[in-house]
Amino acid sequence: MAQLVSKVKKYLEANSKTVSEFENNIKLQNDGVGDYIHTWNVSGLAKPTDEQLLTYNPAAITEENNNVIRATRKSAYGDIGDQLDEIYKDIDAWKARIQSIKDANPKE
């Protein structure tokens, strides 16, 4: 099950709203049982029901998984300065290394 924050962001995107509207107008809380929407002040868009949010679960899971892959790739790629030095010295070796990282960490 995707995190509530991810499902809410997908709901906003599907309704032509931006992430900045999330940051400024929505507050999530956890009551010890689970996360819930505490405050909803998005102009022109009703607060989603649990059933509506559930429909965004698959897309939210994919986004969360891809965020993990992006972070893994970023870490494996290393410092940009080191990459540029590697490109300067041997671009073919750099291409092979980057491709092997992508192959080992495919996005969904």
Average pLDDT over residues 44-73: 97
pLDDT in tens, 69-97: 999 999 999 999 999 999 999 999 999 99
**Which single residue is written with the structure tokens 């099950």?**
1
Confidence (pTM): 0.80
